[in-house]
Every structure is written in structure tokens, then in C-alpha cells.
Structure 1
Amino acid sequence: MLGTIRKWVGLLLQPSKRWSILTLLVTGIVVGAVGVVGFNFSLQATNTETFCTSCHEMYAQPYQTVQQTTHYNNASGVRPTCSDCHVPHEFIPKMIRKVEAAREVWGSITGMIDTPEKYMAHLDEMKMREINRMRSNDSAGCRSCHDVERMDFAAQSEKARFYHGAMEEQGKTCIDCHQGIAHQYPGMEAVSAVEQAEGQ
């Protein structure tokens, strides 16, 4: 056992007889740099709206529903892409989400939701999974654009002012009241849960 350890330590410490230390070092730096650039490129490429909607089911269903909302067409001209809401911006959560997305790729390959009927059959499950994910990260996707602390409460309706002001003390997050604001499906209005509860 001790001999094996010494052998491995010797291999790590002894430079190659064929290549100089400088050659090995430069090669390692180049390979590492190419790896980092390639990794970042793949992250950026898989965060584009073009990539997200390249699957038929994503283009035919959720992308069409977001086009009916104020997140797609609005006076400000600001329009988030899929990844702005559905992919965390911090590195570790982003990597976790990318691994989780493998399930969605598998679903696309196997045709799990490739027709409107199949998509609607799985819609409630997919919605709840996304709502729960957003609740667990305090609606980080929403908050990357909407900052409650910077809101001008005076410019809001009395109701919005009250609920936005009470969010933290009530333990609420954006998705608790604003489901349907980014994707509209049959029977789902893009109004807050508060307005629905009050019959407006």
C-alpha cells in the first residue's frame, strides 16, 4: 500500500521525460482556458430564448401563452426571456437548475408533452413544480427585475400598495399573488390572487 502511494506521488512530482514543465504548464493553461470558455459559451447558448423554444412543445405551448401577457408586450419595451424567470442567476443554483432541466430534455425526446392534449394533461403538475421552485427561492426570477424596496408605492393602487408593503411580514413572495401574470392558459386570468379572492 505504501509503495503504491509513493509511486503515485512520484508520478505527480516528476515531470514528463518527454515534455518540459513549461510545455505541460502552458498546455494545461490552454486546455483549462478552452474548457472555461466552452463551458460559459454552452451556458449562454442554453439560456437563449431561441434554445428554449427550439423544442416544438415549448414553442407551441408556453411561448405562445407568454405572448399574450404584459411581460411580452408592454409600454416600456422591456421583455424578459425564458431564462430570466426560469433559470437562477447565481452560479450554484444555475448549475442545479441546468441538471434538473435534463428531465425536461428527456420529456421532449420521449414526446411526453408533444401534443396540446398531452401538454394540458401535464400542465397542473408542471405549473405546481415551477410555482414551488419559485416559492423556494423567494421568486428570485421576478426579483431580478422587480425590487419591492425600489417600488414607488405612491404610484400604485391602494390595494397593491398594501399587499406589497405587507409581503415580508406575511411571508409572501411574488408568485403567491401573481400566478398567471407571465403565462396565460385557458381558464387562467393574468390577475393577482388577491383580486380573484375579492371577486374583481
Structure 2
Amino acid sequence: MSEKGISTPRPGFFRRLWRFLATPSGVFSLGLLLFVGFGSGIVFWGGFHWALEMTNREEFCISCHEMKDNVYAEYEGTVHQNNASGVRATCPDCHVPKAWGPKMVRKIKATKELYGHFITKSIDTPEKFEDMRLKLAANEWKRMKKTDSKECRNCHAFEFMDFTYQENRAAANHQTALDEGKTCIDCHQGIAHNLPAGYLEKYEEVVAEMDGQNLLPQSKPNESAKREMQTYLDSQ
């Protein structure tokens, strides 16, 4: 209170805070707060990253029987699992983007798969899985078409291919794909997993149902492609 009996207004919160921070105690408190906050951030980020990567391992992917008994069983013995070079592509290598943003988007979308596993049990038997196989495969083909087969190109890229070392038909097809701007999934379907039953007959129907924007590979396979695919199916 002033000499004339008039109350002096109390300084505002930010002014009082500023005055406190200007003192040695304030500087120490601020430093301690920043240290604790920074340390907590590191611990949180490390824990989050560790948990994220734990869900990005093949062991996690096949921890549910729907994957282990169906698509993983088909993957075993393929060139992506065992080959002369020893380079192995696991589930996340092909189905989870490596870039942070797309990876998080994929992880968020994967929560729907958890719902299907625990709640609706939409593919919990081999029969249910086969009924859904074409739609499940089409969803993945659509995703890869949108991203220009990004995961495939982590290992296979046109600019690093030496066509002279490839079998004649493969070299010609790769050159055509390069010239026409095609992407890996346009031609390479069913390379690690069985193709759905009725694939050739139902393909155009699925394309129309999915989007109608030609985001799926080869919306209308030509007769040559159909013959080659049928030969492949008959050999399985």
C-alpha cells in the first residue's frame, strides 16, 4: 500500500513470471524444467519408436493364424524367402512403407485388420479367407499401384537393371514397362502368394467395384496375358 493509502495493483502473471526467471532461482528452475522435459521426450520417443518397430517385424505379422496359416505358408519357399543371393524380403519389406509419413498412415489403417481379427473374425477360417482373397489382394494391388510399387523398388529399380543379363522375354517386358510408365505390380501379381481362385474371370468385376479409376493393374488383361497367367495357374 502506498503512503496515501492507495493499493498498488499486483503485477500480471507473465510479468511476475518474467521477474522470477530473472532471478538465480528462476534460471535454475527453468533449466531443470527443460532438462526434465527434454529427457522425458527422449524416453517417450524411444519407447514409441521401439514399440513401432516391434510391430514391424515378420514375427509380429505372422503372430495371428490368419497370416501364418495362409499367406505366410504360401510365401515359404518362394524366391523372396530363399534365393542364391541371400537377400530376403519379409512381410514389412513388401507391405509397410519405409518413409515415416506413409508408414504411420499404413499403421493407422492396420487397426482395421485388428478389428477384423478380434471382433468380426472375417477371415478366421481358410474358407472365409479364400472367399475374401480376391478383394484383399485387390486392395493391396491398388495400394502398390498408387505408390508406383514403392516397396518393390526398394530392391528392384529399372535404373539399376542390366537388361543384357536378363532372359530375353524378361528384358523385353521390362523395357516395355519402362517405356510405357508401368509399375511392378502391373505384371508381378501372385509372386509370393497364391492368386485368388477365379482371378481371370473376376478381375474386371473387382476393378469396377474397387474404384473405376484404373488404379488396379491392367484393368483389362489382353489375351496373351491371360494365356500366360493361365499357364502359370495350371503349374501351381
Q: Following the alignment from structure 1 to structure 2, what is the Cα–Cα distance between the partners of residues 197 and 121?
A: 22
2:133 and 2:196 in contact (8 A); partners too: no
Instruction: Return closer, same or farther for 1:20/1:139 CA change in 2, 3 Å cut-off.
Output: same
2:57 and 2:92 in contact (8 A); partners too: yes
112, 115, 127: which one pairs with 1:106? 115
Q: Per-residue deviation at 1:131?
A: 0.2
Q: Per-residue deviation at 1:10?
A: 7.2
Count the aligned residue pairs.
Answer: 189
Residue number in structure 2 paired with 1:116: 126
Residues 17-42 of structure 1: per-residue CA shift (max 9 Å, x gap): 8x811221111011100111011101
Is 1:178 matched with 2:181? no
1:65 and 1:185 in contact (8 A); partners too: no
For 1:88, give the aligned amino acid. Answer: P
Q: Which TM-score applies when normalising by structure 2?
A: 0.72
2:189 and 2:195 in contact (8 A); partners too: no
**5+ residue gaps in structure 2?**
1-11, 200-220, 232-236
2:54 and 2:60 in contact (8 A); partners too: yes
Instruction: Return closer, same or farther for 1:36/1:196 CA change in 2, 3 Å cut-off.
Output: same
Residues 150-187 of structure 1: per-residue CA shift (max 9 Å, x gap): 11101112221122112233231101101001112565
Is 1:145 matched with 2:155? yes
For 1:40, give the aligned amino acid. Answer: H
Which aligned pairs between 1:40-189 and structure 2 lie closer than 5 A? 40-110=49-119, 111-185=121-195
Moved over 6 A (4+): 9-17
Equivalent residue of 2:88, what SS? coil
Q: Following the alignment from structure 1 to structure 2, what is the Cα–Cα distance between the partners of residues 23 and 80?
A: 46
Aligned CA-pair RMSD: 2.6
Identity of aligned residues (%): 43
Instruction: Return closer, same or farther for 1:61/1:44 CA change in 2, 3 Å cut-off.
Output: same
Q: Following the alignment from structure 2 to structure 1, what is the Cα–Cα distance between the partners of residues 42 and 16?
A: 24
1:69 and 1:184 in contact (8 A); partners too: no
